[in-house]
Amino acid sequence: MANTVYIIGHKNPDTDSIAAAVGYADLKRRTGMPQATPARLGDAWPETRYLLERFSVPEPTLLTDVYTRVGDVMNAHPQYLPTDATMRDAGAVIGEKRIVPIVDADCRLAGVVTLDDIAARYLREHDLASGAQSRIAVCSMVRTLDGELLAGDPDGDWQGRVWVGAMRTESMVTLVQPGDMVVVGDRERPQNAAIELGVGCLVVVGGIAPSAETIELARERNVRLISTPHDSYRVTRLLNLSVPVSEIMRRDAAYADLDDLAREAEETLSGRETVALPVVDADRRLVGIVSRGDLLRARGKGVILVDHNHSTQAVDGLEQAQLLEVVDHHNLGDLHTPEPIYMKLEPVGSTSTIVAELYQDAELEPAPPIAGLLAGGVVSDTLLFRSPTATQRDRAAGAWLAGLAGINLDELAQGMFRANSNYEHTTPQKLFASNLKVFEWGGHRVGIGQAETVDIAYFEQHAEEFREEMNRLKQAEGWDYSFFLATDILAQSSKMFLPGDGERGLALRAFGITATDGSVELPGVVSRKKQVVPPLARELT
């Protein structure tokens, strides 16, 4: 939806990131932003899935990017025509976009007709006299002439020469051949003479119905007899517009896919005569039309960031979006906006704490499932208030949320930690990527992963696999350094894995600890944000 406002955490989202997105989206909807939608930028952690299932909260929408796409800006209710429509039908609906899509019986795009196509065909009136025009369906001809079929077969089509019966009847019978069309006024003798000749169509103009005898004669000879309110001049002009659009449409015309980037559609339209493109889905069914005006007026998707404000951790395409707000508990990042926006950056242990306080500021209470999820976010990011980032505000928010959800925080934490320490269905590669953040200091790009566990033995057993994956990603992503923390929640310490000499040297300078086997013990270190990032940043800036 073009007006959706996505509330998104960081890439490789942790529990706090997803909980804050869900909670803040709920609060925004309840305070005047009905289009607020929680989203995530990756798979949920096992503990996050545990919380979502426990509290029966739907998993947020998975986004890959927020680039503006054709489907975001197109007109979803375009004028279109079937292949048996006439040129006159096309002219009536072509509108300011100067193009009308043509579809088959299954609404799949068959081609397009442009205003230039209609104009070029309309100017070829000599085709009617020469008999070189396309076959015209009788029903289409009658409709285009605003006429009434008084006799003859309504099915089938007609092709031939057109004669206006303005000459003497004696002259007319020497020129007209069977199968031709004769256009004549309120003159019974030439009308009957044309029928006797076996013309393919007799068109009586001026809105004056032929006599009953003439109608009966046409029925006997199986001659199509059409009465129309138009005069002879207009009839000959309208006949040319009875041609089916399938005869003049552009079958190989450009079109856009629903998921094409808006800038790609803009490039396609650049330099073309047409000002719009039909839009189709994966089955080539017509779903809309997008014009240059639509693309020029397009505004990026609305985005609110929670639990981060660094471009390296943000959703792809953020530069094309409308960044509306930031709610976070990290250091100030490198994002830029064209105008001032609402930002709330608080020195607390969890973004879920900030969201809980925003509910209180609005004098609202989250429903028990949302309260339970937010409580899980607080527990996760503060390690049940054991992290040095935990504050009294986190404890107060956790207690308030637990009361609303009717849960015990200690019991909740045990369930979460057990879920996060089940490695039966994962790998070291996935664990490293699942909670990975990339930082940039002094021109150096640093990837830092972290896993919180009650089973540190798993990480020690797979240490070499972790280091191999760290080196692989470092080379693939162009990082200068790569680190990984296995944080023992119960022991309140971390083991830092170091894949190379560069990391070992940096760790020695930042933490004063020498690594001998590709890892170092960091007693008392549990917070990447507060205890790992600052020392590394100081050494690299």
Question: Do residues 215 and 151 make contact, with C-beta atoms less than 8 angstroms apart?
Answer: yes
pLDDT at position 1 is 42
What are the pLDDT digits (tens) for 117-128? 877 776 665 554
In total, how many domains does the chain have? 4
Domain boundary among 369, 387, 420: 420
Same domain, yes or no, for 152 and 217? yes
The CA distance from 424 to 61, in Å, is: 26
Residue tagged 């530069």 (tokens): 319
Residue 127 lies in a domain: no
The Cα diameter of the chain in Å comes to 117
Burial status of residue 156 (CB atoms within 10 A of its CB: 0-12, 13-18, 19 or more):
exposed
The CATH number assigned to the domain holding 256 equals: 3.10.580.10
Same domain, yes or no, for 536 and 471? yes
Residue 126 lies in a domain: no
Same domain, yes or no, for 309 and 402? yes
Q: Greater confidence, 244 or 63?
A: 63
Strand partners, 452: 487
What are the pLDDT digits (tens) for 306-363? 999 999 899 999 998 999 999 999 989 889 888 899 999 999 999 999 999 999 999 9
The CATH number assigned to the domain holding 462 equals: 3.10.310.20
Of the candidates 400, 321, 388, the one whose C-alpha atom is nearest the C-alpha of residue 355 is: 400
Q: How many other CB atoms are found less than 10 A from the CB of residue 365?
A: 15
Please state, in angstroms and as integers, the Cα–Cα distance from residue 434 to each residue in 18, 36, 48, following that order. 13, 26, 12
Same domain, yes or no, for 275 and 312? no
User: What residues make up the domain containing 474?
Assistant: 428-540
Q: Greater confidence, 85 or 364?
A: 364
Length of the chain in residues, anyone? Answer: 541
Same domain, yes or no, for 466 and 528? yes
Same domain, yes or no, for 438 and 414? no
Residue 535 lies in a domain: yes
Same domain, yes or no, for 252 and 114? yes
The CA distance from 164 to 184, in Å, is: 6
Q: DSSP for 134-168?
A: PPEEHHHHHHHTT-EEEES-SSSEE-S-EEE--S-
The CATH number assigned to the domain holding 159 equals: 3.40.1390.20
Same domain, yes or no, for 390 and 440? no
Question: Do residues 199 and 124 make contact, with C-beta atoms less than 8 angstroms apart?
Answer: no
Same domain, yes or no, for 233 and 266? no
* Distance, CA of 8 to chain centre: 16
Same domain, yes or no, for 392 and 464? no
pLDDT at position 222 is 93
State what percent of residues in the chain have pLDDT above 70. 97
Residue 352 lies in a domain: yes
pLDDT at position 256 is 94
Same domain, yes or no, for 191 and 180? yes
The CA distance from 126 to 135, in Å, is: 15
Residue 128 lies in a domain: no
- H helices of 125-280, in order, are 126-130, 138-144, 169-175, 188-197, 212-220, 232-240, 262-269
Domain boundary among 258, 281, 297: 297
Same domain, yes or no, for 193 and 256? no
Question: Do residues 195 and 217 make contact, with C-beta atoms less than 8 angstroms apart?
Answer: yes
pLDDT mean over 270-293: 89
The CA distance from 181 to 176, in Å, is: 8
Return left, alpha or beta for 521; rule: phi > 0 is left, psi -120 to 50 is alpha, else beta.
Answer: beta
The reply to whether the predicted model has a pTM over 0.85 is no
Residue 202 lies in a domain: yes
Of the candidates 509, 502, 511, 504, the one whose C-alpha atom is nearest the C-alpha of residue 480 is: 502
pLDDT at position 133 is 55
* Distance, CA of 229 to chain centre: 49
Residue 129 lies in a domain: no
Residue 88 lies in a domain: yes
Of the candidates 208, 209, 177, 171, the one whose C-alpha atom is nearest the C-alpha of residue 190 is: 171
